Structure 1
């Protein structure tokens, strides 16, 4: 059941057995290459897990890939979205238009999608600019880093942890795994010992875990993510069907690996802060951390994402009592506490 990541051009729709199929859907201009959309057989018509990026090429790949497997997109009974990001939820609205099916999403991500629809473009730009400034970005970077993604379609159904998806004859249960987004869910196909992991557990890379606004002190997304990894590990050595890269066995072992990676990253970050006598901004901390490319080579948008991840790590350390934010300063600054 294991397959390795190949370029999108080499990907093909696959029958995975047991009434489950996969369709690779391209993400134009993104190094991830594609999203693996899954279809699960149902007497009411197949249910999709995720839908892919909202782009004509992606729609052709999704509808054509389903057709190659003998599935007409008009027969889809619903789309359950692992999280609201555009490479997962982007085409859900078009699938709904073509089939009349439902869209389901965890209630926490559904609330964010509603907020995105209600937020005017100028309000979003002002919010993002102020967030970047408070993190310590210089004015030039602030102007270049502001972006506003197109919100996905609003869901018809809201899921909570433990809910069963409308999939007659099967048991597909939502497992709330916050971190990558507040409402991220994995989906446990209990009658087949399979787990659709979305972006929560991937075979080679780790998902982005950020905090927005960067200086929030009332949430701990990285702490939530680590707790969610522990929860997935407790499910045992299920076969993992992720949204990117490749299908792999023993999701529990991979969840433990990812947890260890972040625990080590937190230790290194605290050590870096302890070496600096002066408090640092979030932007300065992000520039000190290790990314898949040097900081100077990151675009302003990618620097903004890196700052979000740095902020999540700082917040996790703050929640553990290992760093503190300096009160009353703007931009916000952090420093290590004595061991």
Structure 2
């Protein structure tokens, strides 16, 4: 496997940087993408984690090239954490979807802890879940929020000379997650909305006015419609892939199966319902953030089932 500091060409004028992630996060790297414009500048998608190793990987890949803009697919630190330092170094604007900016400000202000008692979580599991819930809040979110200088809207074209990169709002993973579609080049930058083998967690961007499961299914349909069989997906983790329409269908089927499982166990607490569901690594392997995500998704699926009844 190439070094995480190496930049490799994945399409004409587009290079990928495998940005190292901190140990213990479960994944070795996130993907940053460097897009060259016709003015000789670089537009960067998702600078990655806020670590010295991540910063060095980007510096090596950029090799002094002028950075014209920094676009964040979503607020999570493994995609947005390096934005503040990179913006300070380059003077480049940092852009997010308008719904993600609103979510970031809520998170930076401090979110209420999940009601573990109402979910029926055993008391001995409360400390690890409360610690996991606190990770996206506080100084880290404030730092990213402070670095943002502009917001993007659905259908907007980015100011990238020589390209037509269009914003596609894809709520679900977070409320303001976005993808970027380059129809002329046959590319779509999918962030964590669609990954080639991993099922992304949903509702991981703070409270939402709508149900994240329903939002995600609608977002999958929206992205799948863009694929005419020749689209290459450039995801936030793992490797570029084709067959986006089929992958979207598989992800939708996964969540609809989960909804059916939840519907089959309508009684009891969220904890009791979650224990009955089929989890990729098994229920007993869930802990900390993954357990909290499983419980949140169970609650979201319950709401989704009730809404579609």
Fold-level similarity (TM above 0.5): yes
* Distance in 2 (alpha carbons) for counterparts of 1:193 and 1:311: 37
Instruction: Select 1:166's aligned residue among 152, 159, 172.
Output: 159
1:298 aligns with 2:292: no
- Count of aligned pairs: 296
Secondary structure class of the residue paired with 1:164: coil
1:64 aligns with 2:57: no
Q: State the match for 1:24 in structure 2.
A: 18
* Distance in 2 (alpha carbons) for counterparts of 1:307 and 1:246: 29
Closer, same or farther in 2 for the Cα pair 1:113/1:288, shift >3 Å? same
Contact 2:186–2:232 at 8 Å: present in 1 too? yes
Contact 2:103–2:206 at 8 Å: present in 1 too? no
Q: CA RMSD in A?
A: 2.1
Q: State the match for 1:244 in structure 2.
A: 237
Q: State the match for 1:113 in structure 2.
A: 104
Relative to the length of structure 1, the TM-score reads 0.81
Instruction: Select 2:7's aligned residue among 5, 13, 18.
Output: 13
* Distance in 1 (alpha carbons) for counterparts of 2:3 and 2:9: 18
For structure 2, the 5+ residue unaligned runs are none
* Distance in 1 (alpha carbons) for counterparts of 2:205 and 2:144: 22
Relative to the length of structure 2, the TM-score reads 0.89
Shift of 1:252: 1.7
For structure 1, the 5+ residue unaligned runs are 1-5, 322-339
Contact 1:13–1:65 at 8 Å: present in 2 too? yes
Structure (1 or 2) with the larger CA radius of gyration:
1
* Distance in 1 (alpha carbons) for counterparts of 2:61 and 2:205: 36
Shift of 1:267: 1.9
Shift of 1:298: 2.3
Closer, same or farther in 2 for the Cα pair 1:213/1:81, shift >3 Å? closer
Secondary structure class of the residue paired with 1:22: strand
1:239-318 alignment runs, 5 A limit: 239-271=232-264, 273=265, 279-318=267-306
Q: Deviations over 1:129-165 (max 9, x none)?
A: x522222223332222122332152221111110111
Q: State the match for 2:28 in structure 1.
A: 33
1:58-137 alignment runs, 5 A limit: 58-67=54-63, 72=64, 75-119=66-110, 124=111, 127-128=112-113, 130-137=114-121
Contact 2:6–2:60 at 8 Å: present in 1 too? no
* Distance in 1 (alpha carbons) for counterparts of 2:183 and 2:26: 32
* Distance in 2 (alpha carbons) for counterparts of 1:91 and 1:313: 33
Shift of 1:17: 3.4
Closer, same or farther in 2 for the Cα pair 1:308/1:96, shift >3 Å? same
Closer, same or farther in 2 for the Cα pair 1:11/1:92, shift >3 Å? closer
